[in-house]
Structure formats: structure tokens, C-alpha cells
Structure 1
Amino acid sequence: MAQKPSIPKGTRDFTPEQVAKRNYIFNTIQTQFELYGFQPIETPSFENSDTLMGKYGEEGDRLIFKILNSGDYLNKVDDKLYQTKNSNAITSKISEKALRYDLTVPFARYVVQHQNEIEFPFKRYQMQPVWRADRPQKGRFREFYQCDADVVGSTSLWQEVEFVQLYDAVFKALKLEGVTIKINNRKILSGIAEVIGASDKLIDFTVALDKLDKIGEQKVKEEMLEKGISQEGIDKLKPLFTLSGDFNSQVEQLKGILNSSEEGKKGIEELEFIDKAISELGLQTVNLQLDVTLARGLNYYTGAIYEVSAPENVQMGSIGGGGRYDDLTGIFGMKNVSGVGISFGLDRIYLVLEELNLFPEAVAKNIDLLFINFGETEALFCLKAIKQLRLNNINSELYPDAAKMKKQMNHANKRNIPFVVLVGGEEMKSDSYTLKNMVSGEQEKVSLQDVIAKFK
């Protein structure tokens, strides 16, 4: 007996209903992207390995899916190297390409490669799948979609302000309330590292700090000690873990902590600018909250960083994030091009909307009308009507086989089709249609124009 097929862990099949709901989210986000002036681009699903490797930190690099070279991929590995069992050294010989880990680094590569064709500042959006060799769990998959918007070619903080508004507009359109945008600034983290004497360990510091929500204060401190950050320096972090109050009061406390760091003070200024502008402009549904322990463990962020949290009554990780990156295109040889961007986690947003029952009923609707098939003559008559209905954007179809009536009716019920149309000899003579409501069971004889008027 043949073995039942399966799919890799961390991937999913999607039913017609799920695809319809996902498309609802895609379309909602895309509408807002375009309303804010972003233009669409697409990049390949896989990139050259040297485009991706080294851009996400040590932990990120481990999660990149490598693609084996075509043909005899072990041919370039000599016996001496093979005997070392050094997977990193061997991988560089047998794999020259990798699946993209996110959309931001490929976008930076795109900007550098197409710089002579781009009008700066360049506002782009991109909605495509990405892959990460992560441990699958609720809301975390190995293949998932990101919906990104970025601006490159401008250092203006008004872009950061607009991205907060964009998040607000999307979640307002999705009717998702109680979303929190946590914001911090990488310069503040650099300033804190400077104050505790760990400037040379900034990456280790931020990677550990970024785990605070997951592993707690004590474990974070232990990881910092393991990375060589002194106990004296860690003790200086105590006020950081206990910061409380609203945006302004936290900023005032930060000023006291960072009074000796010019870099840290610059980060505070940028946060105050964004907060003041948002206070003036107002938000419709999301809350903006300062979180000085927010680090986002990606090496390329240099300024403001965002992380979006689902409503408190839903157990879910972040549903979006992003930030400012001044040096990203520089890694590909294009200096002094600042960028800032955000991402929506489509798959997690889907789970949140599903849990809160926020998908509109019409989203999962398939067709309005199923025409029952009584035979070849009747079927042709029905198809002429169906042609007119489709020209009027009314979703309708003919059951393909002249099967028993019960089977065709059961098919309509299983697909939740609200109405069926019955056409026999009497209807054909009078050029009419018997319309049956599958919920109430009521039937009525109507003309084709009546059907069009009813459903249009």
C-alpha cells in the first residue's frame, strides 16, 4: 500500500476558505500601501548566499535555508575538508544559493542593482513568502508571507511617523482593536551599552535583551554574563528593567540614565519627535508605547525600531515590526542611502482575526447560484443564462453531471451555496427559472432579469 503523502513541518496547505480569508488581508494591506504612495516590486524566492549570509546576525544565519548546488555538488569538496566535518566550510562549497530569510535584504540588493532606474526617495511594498529554518510552533512557520513597506533615500523622521499611521490605518481597516505598537531606538540601546561599558559587545547585548519577554530578566542577565558583559555593567541595567509610566515619563527617566551618552541622547530626541507628531495627528485604533528593552535582534537597524503586539486577549507573538536602517545598502557598496521600513506578519494576523471572529461573512463566500443539471438540452439553456450572470459579476456555475437531484442538492449544501436554480422543460418553454433558497427552502419562478436584479 502506498504511503500517505505529507508536507514538511512548518508548512501548510490552504483550503479555499482559508485562501479567501488570506486574500482579504492581502487586499486590505495592499489598499493602504497604495493609498500611502508605495509601489509594488517582486524579487526572486532565492538569492545568492553571499547576499543573505552575515546580514541577520549569527542566530539569523543559522535559520537560512541553503539550496544544494545542481549536479554533483560534493565534487568541490576535497577529502581533507570533508574529513574535518566542518559544516560551515563544507556548506560554502556545496551551496551557492539560499531561500530568502526576509524581504528587506533582497530589497537592499534590488536598490543597489537598479539604482540608476529608481527615483529617490523610493517607496516600495512587497508581499511575498519567506523561509526560516525555525522550530515550528503556534504562529511560527518555516514558510510564511511578509507584507513589507519601505522608503529609501530619505533620513526624514516624518517617514517613521507615517509608518505608525500606516499600521493604524491597516488595523483600523481590519477592525482589529487593541493593537500596540512598541517603539524604541537603536541609538538608545547603543547609549545603554556605552554607559555599562559594553560598547564592544553591542550585538551580544541587544540579542540577549531582545529575549526579555521570552526568558525573563534573570535569564537575560545570565546570558549577558556568558557573553562577557561585566556584573558591574549588568547591575547598571536595573533601572532599565523597572522603567514605567507613560511615554513622556519613561523618556525623562531615560535622560537620567543616558546623560553621559551623546548617541543615547540623539535616540531620545528622535523618539520625542515621533511621539510629539503622533500626539498631534492622533491614532484611530492602535496604541503607541515606548519599550526601552525592545531590541529586535537584527544587526542592520540603526534608528527607530518597531514591534507590533496583538490585543492582550489573544495569545500571539508580534504581528509586525520594522525600523530604520542607515547602512543596509552600504553592505552592497552603495553608501549614504538611509532607509526605514515595516512588515506585517500575515499568518499571525490571520490567526488573530480568526480567534476574534473578525473576518466578514462575505469573505468566504464562493458562488451565489448553482444551476442543477437535468440533461444536455437543459444544461445548454442554463449555460446561456450563466453567461449573462457572469457578465453582470454574479458568481454562478452549472453542476457538470446530470446526476440524481439529491446528489446535486447535497453538493450545494456542502459548499454552502445559498441558492440553486432548477430548469426543466416547463421553465424552458416559458423562458423562466425556478430559484430555490437553500436555507429557507422557499421556491419562486423568476425571469433571468429578476435573477440579475436580485443578486446584483
Structure 2
Amino acid sequence: MIEPRTLKGFRDFLPESMIPREKLMETARTVYRRYGFVPIDTPALELLEVLTGKGSDETDRQMYHFTDAGGRAVGMRFDLTVPFARFAAQHIGQLGTPFKRYHIAPVWRGETPQAGRFREFVQCDFDTIGTTGVVADIETALVIHELMQTIGIERFAIRINNRQVLTAFLQSMGLEHASTSVLRALDKFEKVGGDQVRRELEQAGLNSDQASAVLELAALRGSTDEILSRLDRLVAGVELGGEGVERLRALTSALEAAGVSNEHYRIDVSIARGLDYYTGVVFETTLGDLPSIGSVCSGGRYDNLAGLYTKQHLPGIGASLGLDRLLAALEQLGRLPKHSSAADVFIALFDPTRLNDYFRLASIVRHAGYSVEVYPDGKKLAQQLKYADQRGFRVALIAGSDELERGTVQVKDLVNKIGTEVSWRDEPVKLSHAVETILRLTGDDLLA
């Protein structure tokens, strides 16, 4: 007999885990649609040449790849951005520009599993392609902000930087040749600290003074205006840097105008993002209650990626909600609902001889907008309620022969262990109100 087991870094999801996952994905879809993003899908498997050399040396090493039955070198996507660039190059004539898409799907990386990081994980991407306008930069930040708020996260910060500023700073120091190594080292600043980053910078060929200058830049703190003024001076005379600072200024000004609290965003010059395809603004979003989990929503501008597949210039920008990492954080914070039923209301089969009444009752409740599960067997009521409690139901409807004869039902709050008798046959509105009251009072902390 084969032992049932999963591969290291891969997981099964039981209902208790899958329900909040699906709710979070639907929240992301709802927010993306509000801003005009439309859904697409791409294959899990791409030609290897489509994927390699697009992210970083690390993603190339982590990629799952093999030779298929047709003798072709193929790979499993390591993110959703590179396949989207290929998709856009292939279909843009039909789609037109600008084109705004969202894509929620699994990706694969053969990395060492750790808290919030697995070898198969879901990304919730949204992107705009076909425009270099700062409006798309601003909108990306606004979507991230609304996404966090809609999920119900109150304490978070969108950390914003611009690769143009970093590149210009390195140019001013004569370090263009080392820019890739410097940016990859800088991307680890938050995780490993300044000493380790200094060692990596010096290994990349920077002298002590140059490494100190890069670390001083990464440590830059202050108000938005103070940081922008400092950056103006640091990249003075380098056109690319000046453009990057102005785009940061326009972005932060628009966020303020849109009513985004300055507690929810800040310029952080240490943010570089480790993937090679970023060219402009970059974002990382951290949780105020658990910053150690890392960024839960990241992205940025990639103006040259699609140019690897087409001669048409297709600049892009987007971000991705890291579903698995965010759920791991919420679980660690104790902010995930614990139930394994997708239904709102449980109906006990108190008297199996009155099946038609129970299904008539269930139909009324469903037409009022609530999901319902009718227990399938006429077991003792205590056993049925134990089942309902184990699956996290918050509302139970209980009616024996006498109640059914009168057209009434006991609406029970399973969390607070209280109930009230309500007429359902003649006054279904009262029943709906009683159910709604319990669901509202016993709602989940998050993802309800």
C-alpha cells in the first residue's frame, strides 16, 4: 500500500484553510474589478526560453523545468508577471493598449520552505501594460491600499521607492557595472541587516566608501518632503534620477490628495526588489503587527520586459498580493476564522417525517440571501448540534413537529448559546432579521 503523503514544500488544504483562502481571493477580485482590471489566464507550463533569464539568477535556479514528451525544454512559471509579458506580446493587437488585467493562480519555486513561503503558492496579480504614465503608478498604489483596507487590515505600510533613483545614484558614483549586484544586495537590507549587505557590496567590487554611501542612502529616513529634497540633491545632474524623484513626488502627492493616510505609505530608499526586470517605481507592503513576515503585497514598474518577446514597446506596472504569506501572517496573529463550513445557517433534522417543511424553510432562508446546510440524518439533536459546532456554524434553525405545525422555528446563536422563536411561514422577514442579527454580532474578525 502506498503511504499517503505530500511533497516537501507542497500542501493539501482542508476546508478550514480553504474557506479563508477563497474569501481572500474573492476580495482581491472585487477590488481589482473596481479599478477596471479584467481577468485572464495563462498556462502553468511555458517554453523554458520564455521564463529563464527574466527574473534573477535565483529564480532561474529555483525553477521547475524538464524536457517534455515532445523533446521541448519547458518550465513551470515562477511568477505571473513574466507569462503576462509573453501573453501581452502575443495578443496585444487584439487587446489594445493600455490593457489592465488581473490573474490569480499558483506559481512554483523550488526554494527552501519556511514560514509563509512554500514551493507552490498563489499570487493575486494586477497589472497595466502599454503606458508609461505616472497615473498607472498612482493607481497601483491606490489598489494596494484599498486591498489592504478591504481585507480588514488596519496597520500596514506601503513602502515606495524608484529604481531610477537607485540607478542614477550608482551612475553618479561610477558603479553602473555593479548595479545588478548592488540592487540584489540592497534588497536583503531588511532581512539580513547592514553588516551583511556591506559584505555583499564589497564582494561585488565596491570599496569601503562606496559601500558606506549605498548603506547611508538605504538608511535615509524622514518625512516625504525631507526624503524627496535629499534625493533631489543626491541625483542632481543625472536626468534619470531627476525623473525618478519627480515620479515619486507625483505619486505621493496623489496619494495624499486621494485621502490616503501618511501612516499607510512612505518612501523607503532601501526597497530595491530582487527581480531584474524592475525599471521604475517599486512597492513593498508590510504589516504593522507582524513586520517580520515580510512583504505581503509587492510589485513595481517593468518597462522593458515585454520587449524580450516583441519589437512593440509595451511598458508595464503591477503588483501581487502574496496570498499564502498574508494568510500565514493572519493565522499567526490569530485573525483567521476557524470554521469548515461554507454555509451560514445550519438546519437540524429534528423530525425526519417533516422533510418537506425543512426544505421549505431552507428555501426561504436561501432566497433571503444566506447559505444553508440541512443535516442529512435524523440523529439525536445533541449530535447534530455537535456537528454544527465543530464546523463553525454561528446560526442553527431548530424546529420539532409542534413548531413546524405552528410555522415557527428556534433561531439559535451557537456562539453565545441563546435562541429566540420566530415565525417563518407567515413572517419570513422576521426570520431573515434574526439570522442577520446573529451573523452580525458573531462575525469573524477578518475575512467575514
Task: Report the TM-score when normalising by structure 2.
Answer: 0.86
> Measured at CA, do residues 302 and 435 of structure 1 come closer, stay the same or move farther in structure 2, by a change above 3 Å?
same
Whole-Å separation in 2 of the counterparts to 1:6 and 1:197: 54
Alpha-carbon distance in structure 1 between the residues aligned to 2:216 and 2:187: 17
Q: Give the secondary-structure state (helix, strand or coil) at the position aligned to 1:183.
A: strand
- Say if 1:442 and 1:288 are closer, same or farther in 2 by CA, change over 3 A: closer
Q: 1: CA distance between counterparts of 2:262 and 2:148?
A: 7
Segments of 5+ residues of structure 2 without an aligned counterpart are: 434-448
Corresponding residue of 1:190 = 167
- After superposing the two structures, state which structure 1 stretch, 434-443 or 395-404, moved more: 434-443
Would you say the 8 A contact 2:15–2:340 is kept in 1?
no
Does the CA-based 8 Å contact 1:178-1:285 persist in structure 2? Answer: no
Alignment match, 2:234: 257
* Identical-residue share of aligned pairs (%): 31
Report if aligned partners of 1:427, 1:434 keep a CA contact under 8 Å in 2. Answer: yes
Residues 260 and 312 (structure 1), Cα distance of their counterparts in 2 relative to 1, 3 Å cut = farther
**Distance change in 2, residues 1:449/1:238 (3 Å):** same
**Equivalence map 1:68-79=2 (5 Å):** 68-70=67-69
- One-letter code aligned to 1:435: Q
- Report how far residue 300 of structure 1 moved: 0.8
Of stretches 255-264 and 290-299 in structure 1, the one that deviates more from structure 2 is: 255-264
Q: 1:122 aligns with which of 92, 95, 99?
A: 99
Contact between 1:379 and 1:398, CA under 8 Å: does it hold in 2?
no
When structure 1 is superposed on structure 2, of 404-413 and 134-143 the one drifting more is 404-413
Paired position in structure 1 for 2:45 = 46
What amino acid is the match of 2:384? Q
Structure 2 distance, partners of 1:388, 1:285, is 47
Q: How does 1:308-319 map onto structure 2 within 5 Å?
A: 308-319=285-296
- Equivalent residue for 1:390, pick from 350, 358, 366: 366
Deviation for aligned residue 1:255? 2.8
Partner Cα distance (1:297, 1:313) in 2: 22
- Whether the 8 Å contact between 1:150 and 1:342 is mirrored in structure 2 is yes
Residues 332-347 of structure 1 mapped to structure 2, 5 A cutoff: 332-347=309-324
Q: In structure 2, do the counterparts of structure 1 residues 123 and 453 end up closer, same or farther at CA, with 3 Å as the change threshold?
A: same
Partner of 2:444: none
The TM-score with structure 1 as length reference comes to 0.85
What code does the residue aligned with 2:88 have? V
| CA contact 2:399–2:410 (8 Å) conserved in 1 | yes
The correspondence for 2:346, drawn from 356, 369, 372, is 369
Matched, 1:101 2:75: no
CA distance in 1, matches of 2:137, 2:96: 20
Distance 1:186 1:434, change over 3 A: closer
Q: Which residue, 120, 123, 127 being the options, matches 1:146?
A: 123
C-alpha deviation, 1:329, in angstroms: 0.8
Aligned length: 430
- Cα deviation, residue 330, structure 1: 0.3
More displaced stretch, 251-260 vs 37-46: 251-260
The 1:445/1:325 distance shift into structure 2, 3 A limit, reads closer
- Secondary structure of the residue that 2:12 maps to in structure 1? coil
Change (3 A) 1:411 1:113: same
The superposition leaves residues 125-179 of structure 1 with CA deviations (integer Å, 9 ceiling, x where unpaired) of: 1111111111111111211111111111111101111111112212222231221
- Which deviates the most, 29-38 or 222-231? 222-231
**8 Å contact 1:185–1:303 — kept in the other structure?**
yes
CA contact under 8 A between 1:190 and 1:264: conserved in structure 2? yes
Moved more, 264-273 or 28-37: 264-273
Matched, 1:411 2:387: yes
- Is 1:435 aligned with 2:434? no
Quick check: 1:24–1:363 contact (8 Å CA) kept in 2?
no
Partners of 1:172 and 1:285 within 8 A in 2: no
SS in structure 2 of the partner of residue 329 of structure 1: helix
Deviation at 1:198, TM superposition (A): 1.9
Describe the shift of the 1:452–1:412 C-alpha distance in structure 2 as closer, same or farther (beyond 3 A). farther
Q: 1:373·1:399 contact (CA, 8 Å) conserved in 2?
A: no
Give the 5 Å matches for 1:16-415: 16-70=15-69, 96-284=73-261, 287-356=264-333, 358=335, 366-372=343-349, 374-375=351-352, 377-415=353-391
Q: Secondary structure at the match of 1:117?
A: helix
Shift of 1:406: 4.2
* Structure 1 residue aligned with 2:14: 15
How far is 1:364 from its partner? 6.8
Which amino acid is 1:347 matched to?
Answer: D
Structure 2 counterpart SS, 1:129: strand
1:360 CA drift (Å): 7.4
Distance between the aligned counterparts of 1:194 and 1:104, measured in 2?
28
- Deviation of 1:228 after TM superposition, in Å, equals 2.8
